[in-house]
Structure 1
Amino acid sequence: MTETALQPRERILNAALNLIPFEGWTDKMLAQAVEAAALPQGADALYFPEGVLDLLAFWSEQLNDEAAEALSKLDLGALKIRDKVTQGVLARLEAIGPHEDAARRAMARLSLPDSFLTGRMSATGQLWSAADMIWRAIGDTSTDANYYSKRTILSGVIAASLPVWINDSDPAKEKARAFLDARIANVMQFEKFKWQVKSATKDWPSPASILGSIRYGGLPKFKRRRRRS
């Protein structure tokens, strides 16, 4: 697809990615990107009304789409959950491609106070969206508390792995991959611990039933497991 055939937002983003290593994620850079994309003056306000943070969020969404497409081409059904999650994070990191300096500067821009309360445009919002994309792409269908815990934990893994990835000058990213493997291992240990706690307490009464029993007299009885002789 030629540059002129792309949608205006994509044309602005492509131009911006060439300028960011020199100008950073600034409103000045955004205006220059509009000019470089051969769009009329003021197009930045039309296509990115929230300014450069809007552009940054759009790039993050594009990276999510690229990663999801890459994951759709893998035989995920043959992989264990740990390997699925690892492939998901790798796909998201690899989508950055040659624009690691833009990603590095994006991290710095998102650390400024004006990005803290911007929803999808904040660092937290973008990490959550990336984690959500990965879980959905690998087939997660949870709707209970696990839905939130999985995405929260994976957001932390991505946040920790991103700076290691973009600062690893080795084309094979051996150190970054080893770091990611260690973080995923930590997550799997935590999930195993959660399962053990859930199994050990499955016969316990709920806090609500305990409080109700105290209020109306008596305490609920705990089920005792029979000892094996």
Structure 2
Amino acid sequence: MTSPDPKSALLDAALMHVAFDGWSQATFEAAVADTGIAPALAEALCPRGAVDLAVAFHKRGDAAMGRRFAAEDVSDLRYSEKVAALVRFRLEACDDKEVVRRGSSLFALPQHAGTGAELIWGTADAIWTALGDTSEDFNWYTKRATLSGVYGATVLFWLGDDSEDHAETWAFLDRRIENVMQFEKAKARFKASPMGKLMQGPMSALDRIRKPGARDDMPGIWRG
């Protein structure tokens, strides 16, 4: 096999088997056989087998979402509408619900739940990054945590939605985002209230929380 990207080749081959065998060892072995990639190389690329292919599939969807958003003209959309558009683009990046359903089942397992949460967080981060989010304090975390909840709930609704063009899913998404916007407005009103001003002192500790940054104290890093 001389593919310039053997992991992508494995993923493409695996997708034909996921609907029947899930993201399982059987799927991984079938993908290896279909592509002709040496088993040792396949295992080196995917130490966890099909689990790593499921991770790659999710990240491929995030990348597709970003490319579509960059290509679309969204200049006339309100901020909340841009968030909704990105979530919609993310879901529409996959045209096979069964593949997503099988992935949801996989990452619901206790041994893979941490990976699943990390992937959803990564999608939320990709959305905020595409929107040009510049927050660096505690808001960096709350934005992504809130959107992770919205995205996760919308995925589950979408998986069971058989309405035309998924109209019910997009209505559900709009309601969830509206709930978030109402919460943000309530939070702003609280900060301006007497009680909010009273709590500014105790809450000031949150101002010292910063978003993750690249480590500059690792061995081999030159700071000259």
Q: TM-score w.r.t. structure 1 length?
A: 0.82
1:150 aligns with 2:148: no
Alignment of 1:54-203 (within 5 A): 54-97=52-95, 99-117=96-114, 122-200=115-193, 203=197
Distance across 1 between alignment mates of 2:112 and 2:3: 32
1: CA distance, partners of 2:110 / 2:119: 16
Q: RMSD over aligned Cα, in angstroms?
A: 2.0
Give aligned pairs, total. 202
SS of residue in 2 equivalent to 1:169:
coil
- Bigger-Rg structure (1/2): 1
Identical aligned pairs, as a percentage?
A: 33
CA distance in 2, matches of 1:199, 1:89: 31
C-alpha deviation, 1:71, in angstroms: 0.7
Give 1:171 shift: 4.8
Deviation, structure 1 residue 54: 1.5
Q: Using the alignment, how far apart are the partners of 1:55 and 1:7 within structure 2?
A: 13
Report deviation, 1:85: 0.7
Match of residue 19 from structure 2:
21
How much does 1:103 deviate?
0.3
Find the aligned partners of 1:208 and 1:199 in 2 and give their Cα distance: 14
CA contact (8 A) 1:161 1:176 kept: yes
Q: 1:208/1:77 Cα in 2 relative to 1: closer, same or farther (>3 Å)? A: closer
**2:161 touches 2:169 (CA, 8 Å); kept in 1?**
yes
- Alpha-carbon distance between aligned partners in 1 of 2:138 and 2:189, rounded to the nearest angstrom: 16
**TM-score, normalised with respect to structure 2:** 0.83
Whole-Å Cα distance in 2 between the matches of residues 49 and 13 of structure 1? 14
1:12 and 2:10 are equivalent in the alignment: yes
Deviations 1:37-75 (CA, angstroms, capped at 9, x unpaired): 221233321211132221111111111000000111123
Residue type of the alignment partner of 2:159: I
Verify the 8 A CA contact 1:76 1:138 in the aligned structure 2: no
Aligned partners of 1:206 and 1:163: how far apart in 2?
A: 40
In the aligned structure 2, how far is the partner of 1:17 from the partner of 1:170? Answer: 25
**CA shift at 1:104, angstroms?**
0.3
Distance 1:11 1:160, change over 3 A: same
Cα distance 1:4–1:200, how it changes in 2: closer, same or farther (>3 A)? Answer: farther
- Which structure has the highest helix share of the two? 2
How far apart, in 1, do the equivalents of 2:203 and 2:38 lie? 62
SS in 2 for 1:173: helix
Which amino acid is 2:100 matched to?
Answer: A
Structure 2 residue matching 1:75: 3-state secondary structure: coil
- Where structure 1 has 5 or more consecutive residues not aligned to the other structure, the ranges are 210-229
> Stretches of 4+ moved more than 6 A in 1?
none
2:134 match: secondary structure: coil
Partners of 2:110 and 2:197 in 1: CA distance: 47
Residue identity matched to 2:70: S
Distance across 2 between alignment mates of 1:142 and 1:132: 12
- Could you tell me which runs of 5 or more consecutive residues in structure 2 were left unpaired when the two chains were aligned: 205-224
Check whether the contact 1:88–1:138 (CA below 8 A) recurs between aligned residues: no
Cα 1:77–1:200 change in 2 (3 A) is farther
